[in-house]
């Protein structure tokens, strides 16, 4: 893997002085075009052996280009862990926005490699982590992120010489850390794990580029040229085409589906409702105040057709919880900061800390519901959405989050009844808009999208709870009971 | 203070049933208008005695209005402390955006009151905190935030009865916490401190509203009506006029000022430059890796006329630092999320954690520089800016942040020379725009604004360092030395 990075690449100072200004100018121009287009972000992962020029390259890129549109992010291992969020959370939150360049010094590779190298993670776990990384990077590529992965290499011999030289200079000896010395001692092991990582994660969308780091001139020009080529190809070429999607799932031939085969007669008599609700609320109240929840968190997703009763159910739920515990996030149109990021970014930002809950009134499922039906994204985008969502929820579950998803299911007739009622009651009138009527016309399309969604995203760690909601009382009590059951089972 | 909240206010169920729908409709209407206008946010502080209906009111407001445009935030005391940010940071970051309603359950009052009540803070500290709160709320009001402060009261007797009743009901006993019992024991002390707080912070812009919390109907209608009145007055009335500013500072009569009396001949010979730079960088390198910085953080602000050399100085600075330590934040046009918030919000979000640094390439001083000169804000806005900025920096300093501010000072002639040079060198050409030439024509106005800024915001905890920068080498070395001196002095 590192063979050609150890043959002693070298560029003379004279050649560097001749070529550097041209490269610099071209990079600046590319950066300017990127900024003008505001079409995609560039993300550079700077990884590799310590002392092989990672920091220097980051500084050089900042020097060559306009630093105001470069975001350099440095990550420490375990950045996300202490907050109780998924391991990838710090990276998710720090992605560069469209038109910008992000440089990640330390990335999602750091922790898997170092944990594998020091023996803290097993081979199988390591393999799973690399697979997850591949999926994540494919998602970034599909979202338009130009991902450049640079690996700076240094042979063991070169590394030893470097540390010796630095240590001898009193003005530079601060550069040598105990970690450097430890890495040198375990050089072979690190090299082996790194090589495996690079092989396993060099994909078509995001291949690794290995750079010999021993000569500053060589590595600077090489890294710069790689960045330039990647940016120019994307800026001047056609938009990237991702692999074609599998055909969308076909509707069932007999017309029966998850939703229309549901029993909508389920109801709770008004006389028994208050008592049952109070009982379920008391259970939720006790469980969400349980000490064991301090190391866990809760994410509840509410989806449903218009007028299915999401808002009123959420209110019954929140009333049972301490206001310090939960946070309701209603999903509306994205802001411009959100639009400049991958699709899931606007949900990542709302993930709860341990000991807290986020309740989403509509959610990331918009991708495979409204965006699919209304054609707001391409077929490929929503088709890949299922898998991306499953990975997202899996990561939440792994970090200790209890994920609950409710589909409040009403019939088309019930919706019509509720729409008419809303038009009549003055203070509910704002709740009904021409758009609601337009959406209603697409009921069969939505129904199909909902069934596909439930089938493809109901997972062990984050199952869908489809709740018949023609009777609001039944739906509310059922949601509260389901949540209480889940908390009891998981705590 | 609480006398009229203890006379036993009460509203019959019948009257409540009659009035509630009207109030609800009016609130919904007001919320709808607020959302349409997108002109200002509403922030409701929900404070007071436990059990007096705070949580219930928050839920009720969520029920009465459209919860998708209400953000309920619950704060725990010490939320910000562990991250090393200022105490107010969690509140800053959670303000509602224009068009939205924010409800703070627990606020900047919680910690000062409870620390004073349990004797952990002295009277003088408490007084300072209340003063700071007044300033902060005045700033919010000036930024257009409609602030409604609701204090829910309960007499000691009513409190005792409530806890007894709840404890007797097995389904409700979870509502009684040990904190509740402790508060009851120390009722008088809490009441006295609270009364003092309310008196001291009931200002013209943001008066407290005290509500008798013993009767659910009374408190619900009262709180709702207060919110409705406040929203309607603001929605229908003229824009609020803040107290008129003091006259802007007059220019000095003899034409001499801080900038033109500076010695611009200071320079470092090219032959001595590299060595001096390396020496200063080594000092910064060692100091920013010092263990003691883990409990501190660093904020560097770079300001200067166009072409003063901010970017290139920052690059010399960052090269001495570990990339994991710092973060450069270039200040450009605000995003729509930033525009929907108070002016300082977009800087609050970038404050470093302990053990980290943020370097601002331009900063909050834009308010008293470009916004003043270009008339982008009112005279009152930039006049109050000095004081708001001083408070902001003081809070940073108090939370352990070392704040350094550099004005890189060049003469008009030097700027002209650099502009012409930029036009000649191809890869620097993008750095010079027609706007730069336009700004240049306003040099005297900028000069005056700069002198006012330095005079009014050079404080003990965050002094300005005015660096003659006609010689770039001198400026760079001076900045690095100044930073090293400051770190040495403060660590």
The residues in A 420-439 lying below 8 A from B, measured between CB atoms, are 426-427, 430-431
What gap in Å lies between CA B417 and CA A67, rounded to an integer? 23
Q: Domain for residue A260, yes or no? A: no
User: Whole domain around residue A398: which residue ranges?
Assistant: 270-490
**Residues from chain A contacting residue B68 (CB–CB below 8 Å):** 311, 330, 332, 361
Report the C-alpha gap between A77 and A316 in whole angstroms. 40
A174 contacts in chain B (CB < 8 Å)? 282, 285-286, 289
Neighboring chain B residues of A319 at a CB cutoff of 8 Å: 59
pLDDT above 90: residue A109? yes
pLDDT at residue A371 greater than cutoff 90: yes
With a cut of 80, say whether residue A112 has pLDDT above it. Answer: yes
Residue of B nearest to A35 (CA): B430
| Residue B351 shares a structural domain with residue B215 | no
Residue whose tokens read 């630095």:
A166
If you measure CA to CA, which chain A residue comes closest to B31? A430
pLDDT digits (tens, 9 = 90+) for B304-313: 999 999 988 9
Average pLDDT over residues A169-175: 75
Q: Which of A42-56, A322-336, B451-465 has the lowest mean pLDDT?
A: A322-336
More confident residue, A191 or A426: A191
CB pair distance less than 8 Å for B67 and A361: yes
Contacts of B318 in chain A (CB under 8 A): 59, 62
Assigned domain for A264 exists: no
What pLDDT, on a 0 to 100 scale, did the predictor assign at position B253? Answer: 76
Using a CB–CB cutoff of 8 Å, tell me whether B166 touches chain A: no
Look up tokens 């993930």; give the residue. Answer: A351
Evaluate if residue A245 carries a pLDDT over 70: no
> Which of B105, B278, B328 is closest, CB to CB, to A67?
B328
Cβ–Cβ of A323/B55 closer than 8 Å? yes
* Residue B277 to chain A, least CA–CA distance (Å): 12
Residue B294 domain flag: yes
Q: A72 vs B323: CB contact, 8 Å cut-off?
A: yes
Same domain, B217 and B339: no
Distance (Å, whole) CA A47 – CA A111: 12
Shared-domain flag, residues A282 and A410: yes
The three-class DSSP label of residue A119 is coil
Task: List CB contacts (< 8 A) between B322 and chain A.
Answer: 55, 74
DSSP code for A461: S
Chain A residues close to B285, C-beta within 8 Å: 174-175
CA distance B143 to B367: 13
**pLDDT-flagged residues of chain B (< 70):** 76-82, 243-245, 426-428, 430
| CA dihedral of B369, B371, B375, B377, whole degrees rounded to 10 | -130
d(CA B487, CA B466): 18
Residue of A nearest to B286 (CA): A174
> CA dihedral defined by B358, B364, B366, B369, rounded to 10 degrees?
-110
C-alpha span between B325 and B300 (Å, rounded):
13
Beta bridge partners of B304: B408
Asked whether the beta carbons of B102 and B94 are under 8 A apart, the reply is yes
Alpha-carbon distance A361 to nearest alpha carbon in chain B (angstroms): 8
Question: Which alpha helices (DSSP H) does A94-155 contain, by range?
Answer: 110-117, 123-142
Do B292 and B212 fall within a single domain? no
B250 is a domain residue:
no
Is B161 inside any structural domain? Answer: yes
User: Would you give the DSSP letter of residue A259?
Assistant: T
Q: How far apart are CA B143 and CA A305, in angstroms?
A: 39
Of B59, B285, B426, which has the smallest distance from its Cβ to A25's Cβ? B426
Least confident of A80-84, A374-378, B353-357: A80-84
Whether residues B314 and A68 touch (CB distance < 8 A) is answered with no
For residues B223 and B211, the answer to whether their CB atoms sit within 8 Å is yes
From chain B residues 253-312, the ones with a CB under 8 A of any chain A CB are 278-279, 282, 285-286, 289, 311
Closest CA to B465 of B74, A378, B324, B475: B475
CB-defined contacts A:B, below 8 A: 125
Closest to A332 (Cβ–Cβ): which among B68, B322, B324? B68
Domain co-membership, B275 together with B230: no
By CA distance, what is B338's nearest residue in A? A337
Q: Does A83 touch chain B (CB under 8 A)?
A: no
Best mutation target among B30, B100, B323, B325 (most A Cβ atoms within 10 Å) is B323
Contacting residues of B for A326, CB less than 8 Å apart: 74
Number of domains in chain A: 2
Q: What pLDDT does residue A427 have?
A: 61
Q: Is residue A72 within 8 angstroms of chain B, CB to CB?
A: yes
Average pLDDT for A140-152: 94
Alpha-carbon distance of A421 to B272, in angstroms, equals 83
Q: Clarify whether residues A278 and A360 are in a common domain.
A: yes
Whole-number percent of chain A with pLDDT over 90: 64
Q: Are residues B276 and B229 in the same domain?
A: no
Measured distance CA(A308)–CA(A2) in Å, rounded: 58
Whether B83 is in a domain gets the answer yes
Spatial distance between the Cα atoms of A434 and A439, rounded to a whole number of angstroms: 9
All residues of chain B having their beta carbon less than 8 Å from the beta carbon of residue A76 are 324
> Who has greater pLDDT, B171 or A150?
A150
Residue A327 and residue B475: Cα distance in Å, rounded? 49
Whichever domain contains B394, its CATH number is 3.40.50.300
Instruction: State pTM to two decimals.
Output: 0.82
- DSSP 3-state of A214: coil
Question: Based on the domain organization, do A197 and A298 belong to the same domain?
Answer: no
Place of tokens 């939370």: B399
Alpha-carbon torsion (A17, A23, A29, A32), positive or negative: negative
Best mutation target among A53, A63, A67, A280 (most B Cβ atoms within 10 Å) is A67
Percentage, residues of chain A above pLDDT 70: 97
List the single residue in A106, A282, A311 with the smallest CB-CB distance to B324: A106
Beta strand pairing status for A464-468 and A401-409? parallel
Residues of B in contact with A426 (CB under 8 A): 25
Q: Which residues are CB-contacts of A315 (< 8 A; sequence separation ≥ 6)?
A: B59, B62, B63, B67
The reply to whether B330 touches chain A by the CB within 8 Å rule is: yes
Q: Which residues of B touch A285 (CB under 8 A)?
A: 174-175
In a domain, A303, yes or no: yes
CA distance A288 to chain B (A): 11
* pLDDT on residue B244: 64
> Taking CB atoms and an 8 Å cutoff, what residues of chain A touch B325?
74
Q: HEC states along chain B?
A: CCHHHCCCCCCCHHHHHHHHHHHHHHHHHHHHHHHHHCCCCEEEEEEECCCCCHHHHHHHHHHHCCHHHEEEEECCCCCCHHHCCCCCHHHHHCCCCCCCEEEEECCCCHHHHHHHHCCCCCHHHHHHHHHHHHHHHHHHHHCCCEEEEEEEECCHHHHHHHHHHHHHCCCCHHHCCHHHHHHHHCHHHHHHHHHHHHHHHCCCCCCEEEEECCCHHHHHHHHHHHHHHHHHHHHHCCCCCCCCCCCCCCCCCCCCCCCCCCCCCCCCCHHHHHHHHHHHHHHHHHHHCCHHHHHCEEEEEEEECCCCCHHHHHHHHHCCCCCCCEEEEECCCCCHHHHCCCCCHHHHCCCCCCCCEEEEECCHHHHHCHHHHCCCCCHHHHHHHHHHHHHHHHHHHHCCEEEEEEEEECCHHHHHHHHHHHHHCHHHHHHCCHHHHHHHHCHHHHHHHHHHHHHHHCCCCCCEEEEECCCHHHHHHHHHHHHHHHHHHHC
- Of the candidates A310, A271, A274, the one whose C-alpha atom is nearest the C-alpha of residue A408 is A310
Clarify whether residues A212 and A275 are in a common domain.
no
User: In terms of DSSP bridges, do strands B70-74 and B208-212 run parallel, antiparallel, or are they unpaired?
Assistant: unpaired
Among B427, B429, B487, pick the best mutation site for testing chain A contact (most A Cβ within 10 A): B427
Query: Is the Cβ pair A67, B323 closer than 8 Å?
Result: no
Left, alpha or beta for B145 (phi > 0: left; psi -120 to 50: alpha)?
Answer: beta
Mark yes or no for CB contact A361/B68 under 8 Å. yes
Among A363, A358, A357, A263, CA closest to A304: A363
In which band, very low, low, confident or very high, does the pLDDT at A243 lie, cut at 50, 70 and 90?
low
> CA of A261 to nearest chain B CA: how many angstroms apart?
31
Q: Please tell me whether residues B222 and B288 are part of one structural domain.
A: no
> Residue A292, class by beta-carbon neighbours within 10 Å (0-12 exposed, 13-18 middle, 19+ buried)?
exposed
Whose structure tokens read 């029966």? A256
pLDDT tens for residues A277-316? 999 999 999 999 999 999 999 999 999 999 999 988 998 9
Under DSSP, is residue A275 helix (H, G, I), strand (E, B) or coil? helix
A274 and A227 in one domain?
A: no
Cross-chain Cβ contact B318/A55 below 8 Å: no
Task: Write out pLDDT tens, residues B445-460.
Answer: 999 999 999 999 999 9
Nearest to B58 among A24, A105, A323 (CB): A323
Please say if the pLDDT value at position A74 is more than 90. no
Q: Is residue A275 part of a domain?
A: yes
pLDDT at A266 over 80: yes
Same domain, A138 and A78: yes
Mutate which: A171, A274, A280, vs B, most B CBs within 10 A: A171
In this complex, do B323 and A286 lie within 8 Å of one another by their Cβ atoms?
Answer: no
Is A333 in the B-facing interface, judged by CB distances under 8 Å?
Answer: no
């Amino acid at each position: 893997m590192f063979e050609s990075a150890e043959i002693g690449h070298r560029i003379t100072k004279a050649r560097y002085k001749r070529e550097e200004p041209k490269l610099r100018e071209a990079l600046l121009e590319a950066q300017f075009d990127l900024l003008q287009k505001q079409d995609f972000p560039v993300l550079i992962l700077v990884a590799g052996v310590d002392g092989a020029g990672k920091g220097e390259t980051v500084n050089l890129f900042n020097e060559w280009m306009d630093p105001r549109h470069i975001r350099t992010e440095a990550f420490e291992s375990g950045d996300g862990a202490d907050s109780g969020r998924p391991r990838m959370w710090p990276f998710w939150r720090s992605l560069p926005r469209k038109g910008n360049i992000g440089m990640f010094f330390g990335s999602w590779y750091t922790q898997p490699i170092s944990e594998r190298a020091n023996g803290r993670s097993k081979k199988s776990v390591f393999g799973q982590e690399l697979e997850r990384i591949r999926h994540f990077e494919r998602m970034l590529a599909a979202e338009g992120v130009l991902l450049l992965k640079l690996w700076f290499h240094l042979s063991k011999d070169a590394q030893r010489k470097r540390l010796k030289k630095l240590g001898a200079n009193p003005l530079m000896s601060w550069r040598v850390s105990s970690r450097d010395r430890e890495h040198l001692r375990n050089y072979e092991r690190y090299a082996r794990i790194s090589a495996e990582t690079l092989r396993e994660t060099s994909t078509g969308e995001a291949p690794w580029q290995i750079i010999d780091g021993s000569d500053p001139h060589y590595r600077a020009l090489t890294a710069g040229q790689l960045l330039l080529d990647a940016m120019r190809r994307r800026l001047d070429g056609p938009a990237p085409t991702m692999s074609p999607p599998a055909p969308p799932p076909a509707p069932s031939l007999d017309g029966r589906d998850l939703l229309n085969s549901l029993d909508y007669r389920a109801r709770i008599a008004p006389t028994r409702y208050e008592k049952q609700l109070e009982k379920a609320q008391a259970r939720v109240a006790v469980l969400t105040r349980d000490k064991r929840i301090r190391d866990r968190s809760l994410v509840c997703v509410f989806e449903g057709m218009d007028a299915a009763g999401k808002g009123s159910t959420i209110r019954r739920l929140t009333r049972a919880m301490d206001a310090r515990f939960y946070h309701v996030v209603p999903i509306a149109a994205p802001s411009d900061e959100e639009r400049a990021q991958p699709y899931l970014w606007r949900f990542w930002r709302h993930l709860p800390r341990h000991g807290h809950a986020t309740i989403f009134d509509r959610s990331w499922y918009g991708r495979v519901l409204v965006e699919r039906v209304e054609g707001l994204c391409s077929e490929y985008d929503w088709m890949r959405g299922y898998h991306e969502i499953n990975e997202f929820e899996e990561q939440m579950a792994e970090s200790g989050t209890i994920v609950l998803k409710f589909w409040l299911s009403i019939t088309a007739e019930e919706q019509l009844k509720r729409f008419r009622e809303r038009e009549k009651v003055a203070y509910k009138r704002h709740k009904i808009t021409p758009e609601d009527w337009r959406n209603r016309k697409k009921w069969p399309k939505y129904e199909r999208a909902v069934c596909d969604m439930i089938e493809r995203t109901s997972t062990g760690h984050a199952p869908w709870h489809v709740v018949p909601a023609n009777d609001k009382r039944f739906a509310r009590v059922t949601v509260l009971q389901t949540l209480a059951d889940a908390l009891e089972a998981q705590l």
